[in-house]
C-alpha cells in the first residue's frame, strides 16, 4: 500500500488535494498550524494508490508520495 506525508506547516488548507484524490484518502486535521488553518492529513484506513495526483496539484509542495513497488524478492518503498 502506498502512502502520503503532508507537511502540516506547509499546508494552507486550500483543499485542492482533497478534490482530486480518487480514493478519498485525505482529510482535515484538528490541529492549527502556523498559518492558523487546519492542515490536511492522510485519513485512517486510506487506500492510497500512489497515483501522485494530490502532490501534483498541491501549490505548496506540501505532499510527498511513497509508492510501494512490488518486487519478486522484496517490497520496496520509494518516494515519488
Report the 10 Å Cβ neighbour count for 9: 11
Binding site for ligand SF4 (CB under 6 A): 4, 6, 11-17, 20-21, 23, 25-26, 39-40, 48-54, 57-58, 60, 62-63, 65
| Residue closer to ligand SF4, measured from CB, 59 or 72 | 59
d(CA 47, CA 10): 23
Nearest approach in angstroms of CB 73 to ligand SF4 is 25
Kindly provide the residue ranges of all beta strands, DSSP E only, lying in the chain, ordered along the sequence. Answer: 3-6, 26-28, 40-42, 63-69, 76-79
Nearest approach in angstroms of CB 72 to ligand SF4 is 24
**Grid cell 495526483 — which residue?**
53
Nearest approach in angstroms of CB 78 to ligand SF4 is 13
Amino acid at each position: 500500500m502506498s502512502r502520503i506525508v503532508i507537511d502540516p506547516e506547509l499546508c494552507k488548507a486550500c483543499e485542492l488535494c482533497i478534490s482530486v484524490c480518487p480514493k478519498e484518502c485525505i482529510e482535515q486535521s484538528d490541529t492549527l498550524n502556523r498559518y492558523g488553518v487546519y492542515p490536511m492529513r492522510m485519513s485512517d484506513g486510506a487506500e492510497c494508490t500512489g497515483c501522485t495526483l494530490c502532490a501534483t496539484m498541491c501549490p505548496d509542495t506540501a505532499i510527498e508520495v511513497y509508492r510501494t513497488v512490488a518486487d519478486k524478492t522484496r517490497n520496496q518503498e520509494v518516494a515519488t
